[in-house]
């Protein structure tokens, strides 16, 4: 088995998604090489060389790869695919952008968002927005995979792989990078947020929501509220999560001082992970929470924030 | 609050298999129309209703229209939704192609109406009433009126209202006092009308009021009333409608339900008199109004269907989520697992399906009338439609009260609290047995005009149709038994009425309800047959089809049997109903 | 300029997905089907390009069994000018679909092909990128804005952590993200007109593509039910669990 992992980076630092992907590669077993394609990206290559389980780092350092444009990356990866059994990239927007074309040029399938390596050719991946899990066997000689990073641990940084330069520059000349706009610190929309922290009547008043906002700023979360908090006039109507408010299903939902009335549960019960912080240990919210913390929210929430 | 889902499988089954719409289209050479295409149109309507109208339903309930500086300001976002409704062409569905309508079958308009009413009854009343204005002008208006008003009303750019009721003239229209005078080549209208639904709003460029009024030389009573078109804005010399007419909204009623729909007190002619245009001939207004009656009344029946379906969906979702108690093994139970909750859910399911079958069947009868080339046949279809109208209105809307009440009951205490939204359905639905002729009026119409007047000829036609279905070998034995029994009850009810016409007003409601259960039962039996046939062919959706069979069986066991009680009360006649003196009513307190 | 827009028939997003008891797949029998939401956005964008006078013709294409003509009719009702149905009875993998689309692209020579970034059934997010690689057209994936000026296109892309803008040489492939636009509803007159718009059918053989099997679906299972939660002792344990067990915070 000979595996190529496409590194995710911004020319300065290696993104942790690469570490998760290497773990997935290691689960397949065999020789793992990492491709760092970028411009002025030697520092990234040095970092990649430290990833445990990686035997070789290939650096393609050329302005053509500065922004990892798909049109330029694809011929490079196809070139390096010779002799490889697997090519892996994290299922980030970058990996998802580049890899299907690589697969097409190799005339093989891509297996997207792999969450589990069953064997060298059998993989598990979610379909129907995670409402079903498919076990897929690849029949191709080269397996092109994107890896859902949250499904794999980060590899350790205790290795020392050889770093080799790869000279070929491919500039398809069809695309160019104009600019990037990093999302402002403004909080995401409730329905689009990956993390939501909501407060209930237990918040006491509207000002106290600031302790939730502090957590939200750290987690890139949206701030929501229960109907009780809205009715009590703490916060505005558009923050209401629940049957009569917004229906949400984030990765992480943190319910603070919310008892868990059925109307509220109806609006958030499909969240992936639910945390409840409430001082009443009988509160119904605990029956749906993955992690419950019975505590005074005015102590627990600031402590939580400082621990992030 | 869950969101509205179009019951597209049942709708498709009714149109395709129960009513055999494809055969109708083929026989009448209606190009480009069939069940498949109907499904496409309804799917688009449903998409709009689910995403745009349903979410505004509760908003309309909470944020009533207000009267400000003489103008009615509707619920926020209603105007945008209305303009979207118009832009998508839904207002023009069944209107004639000559004036920009799509000319589609009435059945389609019934099916769309169900969707609008399920999603947002208060909002959908506005276009429903506009339909009345269109029909009146289309059938009875002069060329001038058609030219000036029809295209705008059909497109929905202008809305229409019906102005019948006055403070002292409710059910009795003969008491109308609003005056029309012919002065200087113009009719001028003055008087006050009440209960004018969507009488004013800012959603459209103009509002076309159809107003019943009395000319000075008019004969007394019903035969002295004329119908006028009174626009909110009159045309200037360039033909632009921007001159304010002498009409305004005086106040808004505070109502139990349909809060999103402004119910206006309208004042005509506070200054010089509102300029109006006569529809048809003088003194014929009531006749013209009656010509729209079938459509309007059936429309209200469909409102009942719509709100019943919607309330059922809310109850069903709640019952499948709400956890209460546990079984002996300690497993938590959803309330849908409890027998009495099941009974109510089944009743709502089969009740809504029976209403749908009846409303759509009656809707297609109107299409048959329209499509027929023979005048005899046309007359027969018209007579059947007239026979069915009070049943569609009076039976469906009464059953609706039970359906929405069940929906609240399934919710328990949560249902009585406004937050779940189900209380709104109960409040909204309550108007349905009242407006466009109370159930009492429907029952009178049904016994007097639709049964006694033709010596039960149309009742006979219906009984024969039912008997034919009962005679079919392939009909399920239990269903057949139930239908036969109901048919026998109906027969005896008709006989009683013919023999005791003096008792008609006392037994009218029982008689109407008995026929409602029977005709809907007949259609449910036919649905059972059609589902069985489809199951035998084996190309359909087995899950849906077997569910349909069960629903029909439930109907037979729980609703169709009600004809027995109706018949018993009919036979009791008016003795106990009428034997007390007015004073005796107070004997327990005086 | 011609716009080619792809349309996939998928399970309606409101329908609760049920895994078949024999784990062979998801039960799609008699389930409500609809146009893939990302394809709706693609169709909307195509129509807007035409309304803006940039495109002259919108051609909708779908690969699949006969029933996907329903979704093509929807595209026509929304404003597409004509439709091409590539008939394929079996469920095709993305690469095979991309190869078929490449043939259609070759025949139609569109200035831009707009696809949904992914279908909500298989969640693959591949076809547009594959089509780009196969045709040599530049790609702008996960687009939240598309601006076409002469022979260049500016595409704003929704990338992790922000928005990226790239410039592409026409002709291009674009895949749509949620914020690109808000799809319209089909109007009744347009639904009626759509019946008479041309819908052409092509077979896989006619397009000269050999369908190759690249993967085998071994099983489909429902995800694990939500496990009964635990109570944590303190904030430190909570943070630890979220980081290392649930892995929902960094």
Written as tens digits, the pLDDT of chain C (250 aa) is 999 999 999 998 778 789 999 999 999 988 999 999 999 999 999 999 999 999 999 999 999 999 999 999 999 999 999 999 999 988 899 999 999 999 999 999 999 999 999 998 999 999 999 999 999 999 999 999 999 998 999 999 988 767 899 999 999 999 998 879 989 999 999 999 999 999 999 999 999 999 999 999 999 999 876 566 899 999 999 999 999 988 888 7
Q: Does A94 touch chain C (CB under 8 A)?
A: yes
- In this structure, whether the domain defined by C2-220 belongs to CATH 3.40.50.620 is answered with yes
- Among A238, A241, A247, A266, most B C-beta atoms within 10 A, so best to mutate, is A266
Number of B to C CB contacts under 8 A, please give it.
Answer: 43
State yes or no: pLDDT of A75 exceeds 90. Answer: yes
Cis status, amide bond into C120, omega within 30 of 0: no
Q: What's the N-to-C CA distance of chain C in angstroms?
A: 47
Tokens of B137: 């002008």
Distance of CA A193 to the CA centre of its chain: 13
- Model pLDDT, residue B149: 95
Confidence band, pLDDT 50/70/90 cuts, at residue A288: confident
- The continuous run of DSSP H or E covering B340 comes out as helix B339-371
Residues of A in contact with B422 (CB under 8 A): none
Domain boundaries, chain C: 2-220
- Give the CA dihedral B537, B541, B543, B546, nearest 10 degrees: -40
Average pLDDT of span B370-384: 95
**Gap between the Cα atoms of B111 and B361, Å rounded:** 11
- Model pLDDT, residue C228: 62
Inter-chain touch C188–B102, beta carbons under 8 Å: yes
Distance of CA B372 to the CA centre of its chain: 24
**pLDDT tens for each residue of A151-205:** 888 999 999 999 999 988 899 999 999 998 875 557 877 766 889 999 999 999 9
State yes or no: pLDDT of B336 exceeds 90. Answer: yes
Q: Could you tell me if A149 and A92 are in contact, meaning their C-beta atoms sit under 8 angstroms apart?
A: yes
Task: Point out the residue among B321, B322, B419 whose CB comes nearest to the CB of A244.
Answer: B419
**Gap between the Cα atoms of B479 and B557, Å rounded:** 9
Q: Could you tell me if B53 and B117 are in contact, meaning their C-beta atoms sit under 8 angstroms apart?
A: no
Task: Point out the residue among B88, B542, B543 whose CB comes nearest to the CB of C185.
Answer: B88
Inter-chain touch C229–A70, beta carbons under 8 Å: no
**Residue C186, min C-alpha distance to chain B (Å):** 7
Question: Which residues are within 8 A (CB) of B159 and not within 5 positions of it... i.e. 6 or more apart?
Answer: B126, B127, B129, B130, B153, B198, B201, B203, B204, B206, B207, B208
**Residue A293, min C-alpha distance to chain B (Å):** 24
| Average pLDDT of every residue of chain B | 95
State yes or no: pLDDT of A26 exceeds 80. Answer: yes
Average pLDDT of span A58-69: 96
Tokens of A111: 């297996």
* ipTM for this prediction: 0.91
Helix (H, G, I), strand (E, B) or coil at C211: coil
Which runs of E-coded beta strand occur in A139-249?
A: 143-147, 162-165, 175-182, 195-199, 222-225
Average pLDDT of span B203-232: 95
Of A91, A94, A80, nearest to A11 by C-alpha is A94
Residues of B in contact with A227 (CB under 8 A): 419
- The continuous run of DSSP H or E covering B112 comes out as helix B106-119
State yes or no: pLDDT of A304 exceeds 80. Answer: yes
Residue B436 catalytic?
Answer: yes
> What's this model's pTM, rounded to 2 decimal places?
0.88
Which B positions 393-432 lie with beta carbon below 8 A of chain A? 414, 419-421
Tokens of B452: 């006694």
Tokens of B236: 């200037």
Which runs of E-coded beta strand occur in C150-214?
A: 152-159, 162-169, 172-176, 199-203
For B321, the closest chain A residue by CA position comes to A266
State yes or no: pLDDT of A244 exceeds 60. Answer: no
Question: Which residues are within 8 A (CB) of B481 and not within 5 positions of it... i.e. 6 or more apart?
Answer: none
Phi (first) and psi of residue B165, to 5 degrees: -70, 140
Higher pLDDT pick, B522 / C16: B522
Task: Point out the residue among B40, B44, B541 whose CB comes nearest to the CB of C185.
Answer: B44
Task: Show which subunits contact A, needing at least 3 CB pairs below 8 angstroms.
Answer: B, C
Q: Which listed residue (B166, B353, B436, B553) is catalytic?
A: B436
State yes or no: pLDDT of B355 exceeds 80. Answer: yes
Residues of B in contact with C77 (CB under 8 A): 40, 44
**pLDDT tens for each residue of C145-182:** 999 998 999 999 988 767 899 999 999 999 998 879 98
Question: Which residues are within 8 A (CB) of B336 and not within 5 positions of it... i.e. 6 or more apart?
Answer: B316, B319, B320, B342, B345
Distance of CA B398 to the CA centre of its chain: 12
- Model pLDDT, residue B177: 94
**Residue A243, min C-alpha distance to chain B (Å):** 5
Phi (first) and psi of residue B264, to 5 degrees: -105, 150
Q: Does B322 touch chain A (CB under 8 A)?
A: yes
**Gap between the Cα atoms of A73 and A95, Å rounded:** 11
**Gap between the Cα atoms of B89 and B31, Å rounded:** 20
Residues of C in contact with B38 (CB under 8 A): none
Q: What's the N-to-C CA distance of chain A in angstroms?
A: 39
**Gap between the Cα atoms of B43 and B55, Å rounded:** 18
Helix (H, G, I), strand (E, B) or coil at A34: strand
- Among A226, A231, A261, A262, most B C-beta atoms within 10 A, so best to mutate, is A262
């Amino acid at each position: 088995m000979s595996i190529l992992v496409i590194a995710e980076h911004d020319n300065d630092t290696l993104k942790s998604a690469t570490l998760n992907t290497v773990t997935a590669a290691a689960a397949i077993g065999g020789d793992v090489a990492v491709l760092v394609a970028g411009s002025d990206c030697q520092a990234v290559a040095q970092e990649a060389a430290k990833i445990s389980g990686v035997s070789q780092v290939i650096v393609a350092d050329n302005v053509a790869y500065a922004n990892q444009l798909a049109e330029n990356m694809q011929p490079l990866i196809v070139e390096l695919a010779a002799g490889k059994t697997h090519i892996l990239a994290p299922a980030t927007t970058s990996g998802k952008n580049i890899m299907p074309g690589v697969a097409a040029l190799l005339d093989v399938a891509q297996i997207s968002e792999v969450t589990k390596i069953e064997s060298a050719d059998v993989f598990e991946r979610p379909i129907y927005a995670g409402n079903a899990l498919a076990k897929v066997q690849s029949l191709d000689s080269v397996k092109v995979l994107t890896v859902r990073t949250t499904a794999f641990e980060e590899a350790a940084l205790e290795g020392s792989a050889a770093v080799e330069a790869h000279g070929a520059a491919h500039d398809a000349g069809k695309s160019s990078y104009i600019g990037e706009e990093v999302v402002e610190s403004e909080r995401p929309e409730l329905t689009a947020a990956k993390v939501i922290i909501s407060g209930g009547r237990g918040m006491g008043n509207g000002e106290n929501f600031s302790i939730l906002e502090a957590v939200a700023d750290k987690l890139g979360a949206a701030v929501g509220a229960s109907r009780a908090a809205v009715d009590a006039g703490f916060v505005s109507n558009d923050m209401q999560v629940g049957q009569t408010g917004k229906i949400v299903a984030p990765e992480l939902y943190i319910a603070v001082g919310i008892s868990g009335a059925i109307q509220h549960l109806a609006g958030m019960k499909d969240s992936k992970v639910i945390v409840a912080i409430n001082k009443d240990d009988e509160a119904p919210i605990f029956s749906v929470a993955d992690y419950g913390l019975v505590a005074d929210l005015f102590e627990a929430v600031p402590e939580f924030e400082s621990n992030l | 609050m869950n969101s509205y889902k179009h019951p597209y499988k049942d709708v498709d089954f009714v149109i395709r298999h129960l009513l055999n719409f494809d055969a109708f289209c083929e026989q009448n050479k209606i190009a480009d129309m069939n069940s498949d295409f109907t499904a496409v149109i309804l799917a688009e309507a449903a998409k709009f209703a689910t995403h745009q109208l349903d979410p505004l339903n509760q908003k309309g309930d909470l944020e009533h229209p207000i009267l400000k500086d003489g103008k009615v300001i509707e619920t926020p976002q209603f105007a945008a939704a209305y303009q979207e409704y118009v832009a998508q062409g839904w207002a023009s569905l069944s209107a004639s192609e000559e004036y920009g309508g799509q000319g589609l079958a009435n059945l389609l308009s019934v099916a769309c109406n169900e969707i609008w009413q399920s999603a947002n009854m208060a909002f959908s009343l506005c276009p429903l009433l506009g339909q009345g204005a269109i029909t009146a002008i289309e059938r009875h208006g002069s060329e001038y009126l058609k030219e000036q008003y029809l295209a705008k009303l059909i497109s929905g750019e202008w809305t229409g209202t019906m102005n019948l009721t006055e403070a002292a003239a409710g059910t009795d229209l003969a008491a109308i006092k609003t005056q029309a005078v012919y002065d200087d080549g113009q009719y001028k209208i003055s008087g006050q009308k009440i209960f004018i639904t969507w009488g004013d709003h800012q959603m459209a460029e103009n509002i076309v009021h159809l107003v019943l009024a009395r000319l000075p030389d008019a004969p007394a009573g019903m035969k002295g009333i004329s119908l006028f078109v009174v626009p909110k804005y009159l045309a200037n010399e360039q033909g632009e409608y921007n001159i304010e007419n002498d009409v305004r909204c005086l106040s808004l009623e505070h109502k139990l339900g349909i809060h999103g729909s402004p119910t206006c007190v309208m004042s005509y002619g506070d200054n010089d008199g509102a300029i109006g245009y006569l529809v048809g001939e003088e003194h014929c207004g009531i006749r013209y109004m009656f010509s729209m009656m079938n459509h309007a009344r059936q429309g209200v029946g469909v409102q009942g269907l719509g709100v019943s379906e919607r309330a059922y969906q809310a109850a069903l979702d709640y019952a499948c989520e709400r956890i209460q108690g546990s079984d002996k093994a300690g497993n938590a139970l959803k309330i849908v697992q409890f027998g009495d909750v099941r009974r109510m859910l089944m009743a709502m399911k089969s009740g809504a399906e029976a209403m749908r079958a009846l409303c759509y069947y009656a809707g297609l009868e109107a299409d048959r009338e329209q499509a027929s080339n023979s005048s005899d046949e046309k007359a027969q279809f018209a007579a059947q439609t007239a026979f069915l109208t009070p049943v569609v209105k009076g039976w469906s809307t009464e059953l609706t009260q039970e359906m929405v009440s069940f929906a609240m009951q399934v919710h328990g205490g949560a249902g009585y609290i406004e937050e779940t939204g189900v209380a709104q359905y109960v409040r909204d639905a309550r108007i349905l047995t009242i407006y466009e002729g109370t159930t009492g009026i429907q029952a009178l119409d049904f016994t007097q005009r639709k049964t006694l007047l033709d010596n039960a000829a149309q009742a006979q036609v219906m009984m024969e149709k039912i008997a034919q279905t009962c005679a079919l070998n392939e009909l399920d034995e239990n269903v057949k038994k139930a239908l036969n029994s109901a048919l026998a009850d109906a027969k005896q009810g008709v006989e009683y009425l013919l023999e005791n016409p003096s008792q008609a007003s006392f037994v009218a409601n029982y008689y109407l309800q008995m026929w409602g259960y029977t005709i809907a039962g007949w259609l449910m039996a036919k649905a059972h047959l059609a589902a069985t046939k489809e199951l035998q062919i084996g190309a359909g959706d087995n899950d849906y089809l077997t569910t349909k069979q069960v629903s029909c069986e439930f109907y037979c066991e729980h609703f169709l049997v009600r004809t027995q009680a109706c018949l018993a009360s009919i036979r009791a006649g008016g003795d106990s109903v009428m034997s007390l003196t007015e004073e005796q009513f107070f004997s327990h307190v005086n | 300029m011609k716009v080619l827009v792809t349309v996939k028939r998928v399970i309606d997003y409101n329908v609760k997905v049920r895994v078949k008891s024999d784990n062979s797949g998801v039960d799609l029998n008699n389930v409500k089907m609809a146009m893939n939401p990302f394809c709706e956005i693609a169709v909307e964008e195509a129509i807007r390009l035409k309304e803006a006078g940039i495109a002259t013709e919108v051609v909708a294409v779908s690969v699949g069994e006969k029933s996907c003509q329903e979704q093509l009719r929807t595209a026509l009702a929304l404003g597409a000018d004509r439709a091409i149905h590539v008939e394929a009875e079996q469920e095709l993998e993305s690469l095979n679909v991309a190869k078929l689309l490449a043939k259609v692209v070759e025949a139609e020579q569109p200035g831009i092909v707009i696809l949904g970034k992914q279908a909500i059934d298989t969640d693959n997010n591949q076809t547009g990128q594959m089509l780009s690689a196969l045709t040599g057209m530049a790609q702008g994936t996960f687009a939240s804005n598309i601006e076409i000026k002469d022979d260049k296109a500016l595409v704003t892309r929704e990338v992790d952590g922000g928005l990226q803008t790239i410039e592409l040489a026409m002709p291009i492939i674009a895949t749509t993200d949620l914020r690109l636009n808000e799809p319209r509803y089909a109007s009744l007159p347009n639904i009626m007109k759509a019946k008479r718009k041309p819908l052409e059918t092509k077979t896989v053989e006619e397009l000269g593509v050999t369908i190759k099997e690249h993967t085998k679906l071994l099983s489909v299972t429902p995800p694990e039910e939500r496990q009964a939660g635990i109570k944590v002792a303190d904030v430190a344990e909570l943070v630890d669990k979220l980081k290392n067990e649930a892995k929902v915070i960094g």
